[in-house]
Structure 1
Amino acid sequence: MEAFLMLVSQIFLWVAVIAQTLLIVALARQVGILHERIAPAGALTLHQKVNVGEVASPMTVTTTQGQSMTVGGKREGRSQLLFFASPDCPVCKSLLPVLRSSARAESGWLDVVLAGDGDSAAYKRLARDHGLANVPMVLSEALGRAFGVSKLPYAVLLDEDGRVASLGLINSREHLESLFEAKEHGVASIQDYLARRQKEA
């Protein structure tokens, strides 16, 4: 009798193990399907003063190094990325290494400008600590107002003709790269691109 009960318990145990294995395989498959369906996250476009496609009015500003430079306007084969940050913003600091690597990787067509408003010494220290000493830095409240910057970190990508190619709130490397992707595809944002594709399908 004991042998029979042992055999029955072993059978039930193996049935439970096989059922659990099948459930894990089914769950893994569903996770894979969900991962494929999730759209890439792009920079969040907030309510802004300028829209994608508009020509940004050129502004002459002075960098923290004392050099005069123009933001916006036509630039032969060069785009400008304005990255608005603050020394008091933890998210901004976490993204500065991403900004540095993007400035190097995209140097063939992109000029990166670190922008903000406040204490010049704090911004210089921020740039030095994150290896951005060679990136022009502009402290101008008027520049931030011109692009409707209300939250940080925020980025604006201007194309070769001085038009706003893409813009938005940046919280990750993926968000920053989405600005480049949006420009490449000629859309306002990655979300806009996906919406168009969905309509065409």
Structure 2
Amino acid sequence: MAALDTSAILAWTQVLDWLLLLALVPVLALLFRRMRRLFARVAPVGALMTSGGPAPGVRLPSRILRALDGGEVALGGSRADGGSTLLLFVSGACPISRKMLPIAGDFTRREAIDLLCLGDDTDAMQHDLTARFAISPSRFVNDPEIGRMLGVDKLPFAFLLDATGTIVAKGLVNSREHLESLVVAGETGHVSVQSYLDARPHAA
């Protein structure tokens, strides 16, 4: 009799387990739907675009600049190799700039993007910066006029140019994700977080 009672208890336990699992199915389905809605409403993290300077979509005319090594480097215009260019404005006195230089170097190598650093300090400071972060002086331009021309007033600031010299996206950058957002901008058509939020007012 005791064995029969034990079997009955085990059978009822299994039944209750199955009922509990079946009851959880709609709860999990509802939770999954709510999570999807939540992720759809969360805006992506991207480089913060400022209002000054040329906007994305503007083609920069070709301009020959003088690099730190004394050689010439082209800014804007079409590239014969069809590649993209990342313009990164930095300063050795800016800790975020120092943080971003190795990140930008690794990012552009992986994405096959040409990196051109620009700044507005003394040549001695810029040479120290290039030596510290293994940046070729031929890919560093120290010219305050370029920053003024492009409306750069905060650092580090980046412009992504396509093969024609057209600005794909621009913005303040302080992480790898911000650099990635500039590339994604060319694929999605959203040149900034602001444009994403304007297109999807409920994403905020």
The residue that corresponds to 1:96 in the other structure is 101
Q: Which amino acid aligns with 2:156?
A: P
Matches within 5 A, 1:11-90: 33=35, 36=39, 37-76=41-80, 77-90=82-95
| 1:82/1:155 contact within 8 Å kept | yes
> For 1:106, which of 111, 115, 120 is the aligned residue?
111
Q: Which amino acid aligns with 1:80?
A: T
Deviation, 1:192, is 2.2
TM-score, length basis structure 1: 0.75
Secondary structure of the structure 2 residue equivalent to 1:149: coil
In 2, Cα distance between the equivalents of 1:65 and 1:35?
A: 51
CA contact (8 A) 1:61 1:71 kept: yes
Pair 191,62 (structure 1): closer, same or farther in 2 beyond 3 Å: same
How far apart are 1:133 and its partner, in Å?
Answer: 2.9
Deviation at 1:144?
0.6
CA deviations over 1:19-78 (Å, ceiling 9, x no partner): xxxxxxxxxx7xx94973432211111121201101112221010011111100011311
User: Does the Cα contact within 8 Å between 1:182 and 1:190 map onto a contact in 2?
Assistant: no
Counterparts of 1:185 and 1:135 in 2: how far apart (Å)? 33
Alignment check: 8 A CA contact 1:100 1:131 kept: no
Q: Deviations over 1:104-151 (max 9, x none)?
A: 1122xx211010011112112112212223760001111111110000
Whether contact under 8 Å (2:119, 2:142) holds in the other structure is: yes
Answering whether residue 176 of structure 2 is matched by residue 173 of structure 1, we say: yes
Structure 1 residues 59 and 68 mapped into 2: Cα distance closer, same or farther (>3 Å)? same
- Over 3 Å counting, the alpha-carbon distance change for 1:91 and 1:135 in structure 2 is farther
Corresponding pairs, count: 168
Kindly report structure 1 stretches of 4+ aligned residues shifted beyond 3 Å.
32-35, 193-199
Identity %: 36
- 2:119 is matched with 116
Q: Map Cα deviations across residues 153-187 of structure 1 (whole Å, 9 max, x no partner).
A: 00011111111110011121111111111022233
Structure index of larger Rg: 2
Partner SS for 1:115: strand
Unaligned runs of 5+ in 2: 1-30
